[in-house]
Amino acid sequence: MQLDPAERRAIEIVDRVGWMVQHVYPVEGNSDPEWFSYTVGLEITHGWPELICFGLDPEVMGKMLNNAVSDLKEKKIVPCYGLELDDVLELSSVKLGTFPRHLFLSYLGWAIWFSDYRGMKPQQSACLQLTWPDKEGLFPADPNCDPVVSRVQTPKGVRPAALS
């Protein structure tokens, strides 16, 4: 199989670091932009679900995802639904929520490609969403969460309550 430069780069980063972060920027001219970032390689190198984050500047989300993975590794914690991490953001915790399986192909292209390249079947894939709180400390699944914070963290076609 002939690999293109981006594929070779992804393999090199994951082999060297254990994961990488892929950023997805909104399509120019889209009136409803959706920014998100996700990990690639955690399933292969650690046996963990991939992590995805929505709604912030890609650099910030990249740092959050990297901090989350580093924190999990340092504390020898396996990421799971409902887990709160206190060492990802300076002023608040973050929380891992569900990420709908039917959206994997739409959102996790590089992660699915990498896992498949390394021999893992797509149906074996898993993903958790790294969510961040509003100014009151409420997460998107909470009905009292700031609606803007909830909306920017909700993938298209999903209700916020589904992220709990």
| pLDDT tens figures, 89-144 | 888 999 999 999 989 988 999 999 999 999 998 778 899 999 999 999 999 989 99
Q: Is residue 18 part of a domain?
A: no
Q: Residue 155 is which amino acid?
A: P
> What is the Cα–Cα distance from 132 to 55, expressed in whole angstroms?
9
Q: Establish if 92 belongs to a structural domain.
A: yes
Number of domains in the chain: 1
* Global confidence as pTM: 0.91
**Closest among 148, 146, 144, 141 to 164, alpha carbons compared:** 141
CB atoms within 10 A of CB 133: 21
Q: Is residue 14 part of a domain?
A: no
Instruction: Determine, yes or no, domain membership for 5.
Output: no
Question: Residue 10 domain-assigned?
Answer: no
The answer to whether 102 and 125 have CB atoms below 8 angstroms apart is no
